[in-house]
Amino acid sequence: MQMNVQVGGSTFTAVLEENEAVDTLVEMMEQGPVTIQMSDYSGFEKVGSLGTSLPASNQQTTTQAGDIVLYQSNQIVMFYGSIEQYFSRLFLLSFPIVPIPPVLFLPFPRLSRS
């Protein structure tokens, strides 16, 4: 499954992982777009609060630019650098981005309840 990630005026395609955190995030997006205000952290990632907790399935992960992961069950982290740590992978952007303003996650295709 794929979704759109809007960053400022640009839209990127993201490939979703298959795990419970992603399933829960997709259910949230069925209600409408999920907006996350992100800020720079450590010079290699952007971090923003999701405002709710998702189920975590943390695994030792070496991130790369474009990885988006769940941290502490309620933080979304978008990487533009690399680090090795325990995370729950959510999705990977189709190509890495470096300047990252506030982020808007939109479902692709648009999801609706039946």
pTM, 2 dp:
0.73
Q: Give the architecture-level CATH label for domain 2-107.
A: Beta Barrel (2.40)
What average pLDDT does the structure give for the chain?
74
Q: Is 31 helix (H, G, I), strand (E, B) or coil?
A: coil
Q: In the chain, what is the straight-line distance between the N-terminal and C-terminal CA atoms, in Å?
A: 18
φ/ψ of residue 23, rounded to 5 = -55, -45
pLDDT band at 5 (very low <50, low <70, confident <90, very high): confident
| Rounded average pLDDT over 86-105 | 55
| Rounded average pLDDT over 23-44 | 84
The DSSP secondary-structure symbol of 107 reads E
pLDDT band at 53 (very low <50, low <70, confident <90, very high): very high
| Rounded average pLDDT over 63-76 | 86
Residues 6+ apart with CB under 8 A from 94: 12, 13, 14, 15, 66
83 has pLDDT over 80: no
110 has pLDDT over 60: no
